[in-house]
Amino acid sequence: MLLAEELLLLALDPERGTAVNSSRSPLNVALGGALVAELGLDGLVVEDGRRLAPAGPTPSHPLLADTHSLLGTLRGRRAADQLRRMDKGLGGAWSQLVDGLVEQGVLGRRRDRVLLVPVTRHPVLYTKARDEVVERMRAAAANDGPLDPRTATVLALSGPSRLLEVVAPARADRRQAKERIRTATDQTPIAPIVRKVIQEAQQAAAAAATAAAAAAATSG
């Protein structure tokens, strides 16, 4: 299973079939980061100064191949800008990953209406797949032992994806989980870039909302 698929399953409410905590916006960035991280672990991407560059042969997995190719197209841009453009360049990482998991029978596809608005949900059908990811991340967050690179990557990306409550459902365990996420981030080169892109997007959204409120107050 791809790292990005594991992160998506971690972020998915298994019954509602939607992202927990309304985490889709930061998750879109993190999913792109997980795809890049997978290439990095396979030796197929290198950090060229402050940029990411594809290396080696084209991977066999179609989505990883698209990510590898897109990094080549975005060569020359700063890593944060490359990652910022990743989701759109892939045609929506969430959609691509969900489609793959539906084909594998891990997820379903159900179309509902909420207040007359059509909503597509993806409940987990193969619960064992999600349970394995959740249990492994919770164990990694609760313990102090070494982290294998794949677990470290998903755990590191769970932080900026706003999945702390999934990784540590008990409030008393969250301080420990935050420390472990920091440790995992130190092992995962893409994680600080993901965090930076998400923080910048959140700051821009907050500034826009403040400006809109000020303009409304002035016009009123």
Catalogue all structural domains in the chain, each as residue range(s) with its CATH number: 3-189 (1.10.3630.10)
Question: What is the residue type of 71?
Answer: L
99-148, pLDDT tens digit by residue?
A: 999 999 999 998 887 777 788 899 999 999 999 999 999 999 999 999 99
Question: To 5 degrees, how large is the angle CA 51–CA 52–CA 53?
Answer: 120
Write down the pLDDT at residue 220.
60
CA 216 to CA 54: how far, in whole Å? Answer: 47
Write down the pLDDT at residue 118.
81
- Helices (H) and strands (E) counted in the chain, each on its own, are 11, 4
Query: Of 197, 185, 8, 195, whose CA–CA distance to 96 is shortest?
Result: 8
pTM exceeding 0.85: yes
144-197, pLDDT tens digit by residue?
A: 999 999 999 999 999 999 999 999 999 999 999 999 999 999 999 888 889 888
Please state, rounded to an integer, the average pLDDT across all residues of the chain: 90
